[in-house]
């Protein structure tokens, strides 16, 4: 995973350089946006650093099982006075001796655990913590895809709406000119002109609001990718639904139970809690260690003045806990409660993923019918606009009917575009919930877009 991230980061760097060299914001495709997001998205970069830190849990846990070697060195200048009993040659006075000497102490020690349930539990817990970190990073990586595609689709849908509202405004402006010409010839009415003008004013407001929405959503997308863009790829005209990989919800749920990284992380969180109980109970267990040392000292005290001593030792140390004031029982009870909490959170995660999986599965299942129905609505609305215009010329319909038909066409096109974007997002979200989403799935979604010529 990290190698893939580094590779995509290099691609994203090249993309950033090319865009920067252009000297202005330019169009980007979905895959370009993803490559840039891998490098620039703050949330993803935070997840990368968090995962790097999480890899150390395994080493931290293993450290307790490996030998501990320590070297101590000490030296000092010493001045000492000793007072002894009266001697024959001191006239009955105490014997006084003065010493000035340099002391030196070197100690090399080794400690190796032979039996310790606490260190064994810490080692196993460290492995579980590292696996938990990997699962969380996998979830963050998949979340980046969803956040990016959602922001990209939202921005492109906003651009589509802006184009529709502009086309509607232009059509109304043209209709207004037609009304004015007909009124000048005595074939139209003042009411027709006022109706069209009112619709045109609303259309102008819609264009302004849609423009602001596009700006805001472009900023949201730029916060993820780190790139400015004034144009995104458009949906292809030949929009075809992808074949279903699995048919039933039960099949997807089986896959999700084994592969969803959030469920996997919750399982490892429960394992970490189990090992915490083992660590707590180890407070009642005996500990056995091997200790070895090499010690060399020169004049380390007045009594050893001018003596150079070397001591080598090796042995075992057995520690048997007897009573610790109830501490071990307390932290064991606490660990058991935390284990039960982790088990409940695992059940909650499974339920949440199951609900999301069913939601996206149902959305994907109904997409074909919904998109087909909306496509028919667009076709029918287009024909209605043309037919209504002809009917107005024949005196069967009035100007307001034309305006309503054009408004209905805009709404149908907008709903169709939104349904297509929702399908693509559900396509990815279903696979994210199942835990199977990968770059190939993102490439499939990117294939539904094509650059604007």
| Interval 4-26: pLDDT, tens | 444 444 444 444 444 444 434 46
The 10 Å Cβ neighbour count of residue 450 is: 14
96 bridge partner residues:
83
pLDDT, position 32: 93
pLDDT, position 79: 82
Cβ-contact 132, 46 below 8 angstroms: no
- Domains defined for the chain, CATH in brackets: 30-81+102-138+229-450 (1.20.1600.10)
pLDDT, position 452: 67
Q: Which residues contact 407 (CB under 8 A, 6 or more apart)?
A: 168, 199
Low-confidence stretches of the chain (pLDDT beneath 50):
1-25
pLDDT, position 103: 83
77 bridge partner residues:
102
pLDDT, position 151: 95
Q: Which residues contact 271 (CB under 8 A, 6 or more apart)?
A: 128, 131
Interval 77-117: pLDDT, tens: 888 777 767 665 556 677 677 777 788 899 999 999 999 99
Cβ-contact 293, 352 below 8 angstroms: no
Q: What does the longest C-alpha to C-alpha distance in the chain come to?
A: 151
- DSSP letter (8 states) at residue 325: T
Burial 9-34 (b: 16+ CB within 10 A, else e): bebbeebbeebeeeeeeeebbbbbbb
pLDDT, position 91: 60
Cα-trace Rg, the chain = 39
pLDDT, position 5: 43
């Amino acid at each position: 995973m990290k190698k893939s991230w580094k590779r995509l980061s290099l691609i994203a760097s090249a993309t950033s350089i090319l865009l920067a060299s252009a000297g202005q914001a330019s169009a980007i495709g979905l895959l370009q946006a993803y490559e840039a997001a891998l490098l620039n998205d703050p949330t993803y970069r935070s997840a990368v650093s968090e995962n790097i830190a999480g890899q150390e849990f395994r080493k931290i846990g293993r450290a307790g099982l490996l030998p501990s070697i320590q070297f101590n060195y000490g030296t000092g200048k010493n001045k000492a006075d000793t007072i002894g009993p009266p001697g024959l040659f001191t006239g009955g006075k105490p014997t006084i001796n003065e010493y000035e000497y340099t002391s030196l102490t070197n100690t090399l020690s080794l400690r190796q655990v032979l039996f310790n349930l606490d260190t064994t539990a810490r080692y196993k817990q460290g492995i579980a913590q590292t696996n938990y970190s990997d699962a969380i990073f996998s979830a963050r990586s998949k979340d980046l895809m969803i956040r990016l595609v959602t922001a990209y689709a939202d921005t492109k849908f906003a651009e589509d709406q802006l184009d529709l509202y502009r086309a509607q405004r232009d059509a109304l402006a043209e209709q207004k000119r037609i009304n004015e010409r007909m009124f000048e010839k005595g074939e139209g009415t003042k009411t027709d002109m006022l109706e069209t003008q009112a619709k045109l004013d609303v259309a102008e407001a819609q264009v302004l609001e849609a423009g602001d929405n596009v700006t805001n959503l472009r900023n949201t997308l730029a916060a993820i990718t780190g790139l400015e863009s004034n144009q995104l790829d458009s949906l292809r005209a030949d929009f075809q639904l992808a074949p279903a990989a699995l048919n039933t919800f039960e099949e997807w749920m089986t896959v999700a139970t084994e592969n969803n990284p959030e469920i996997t992380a919750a399982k490892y969180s429960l394992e970490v809690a189990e090992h915490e109980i083992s660590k707590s109970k180890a407070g009642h267990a005996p500990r056995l260690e091997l200790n070895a040392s090499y010690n060399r000292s020169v004049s380390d005290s007045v009594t050893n003045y001018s003596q150079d001593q070397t001591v080598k030792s090796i042995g075992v140390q057995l520690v048997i806990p007897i009573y610790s004031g109830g501490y071990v029982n307390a932290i064991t009870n606490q660990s058991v409660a935390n284990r039960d909490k982790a088990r409940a959170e695992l059940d909650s995660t499974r339920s949440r993923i199951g609900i999301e999986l069913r939601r996206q599965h149902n959305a994907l299942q109904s997409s074909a019918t919904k998109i087909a129905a909306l496509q028919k609505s667009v076709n029918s609305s287009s024909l209605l606009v043309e037919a209504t215009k002809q009917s107005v010329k024949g005196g069967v319909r009035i100007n307001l009917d034309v305006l309503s038909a054009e408004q209905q066409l805009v709404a149908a096109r907008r709903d169709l575009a939104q349904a297509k974007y929702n399908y693509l997002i559900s396509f990815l979200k279903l696979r994210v919930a199942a835990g199977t989403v990968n770059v190939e799935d993102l490439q499939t979604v990117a294939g539904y877009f094509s650059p604007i010529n």
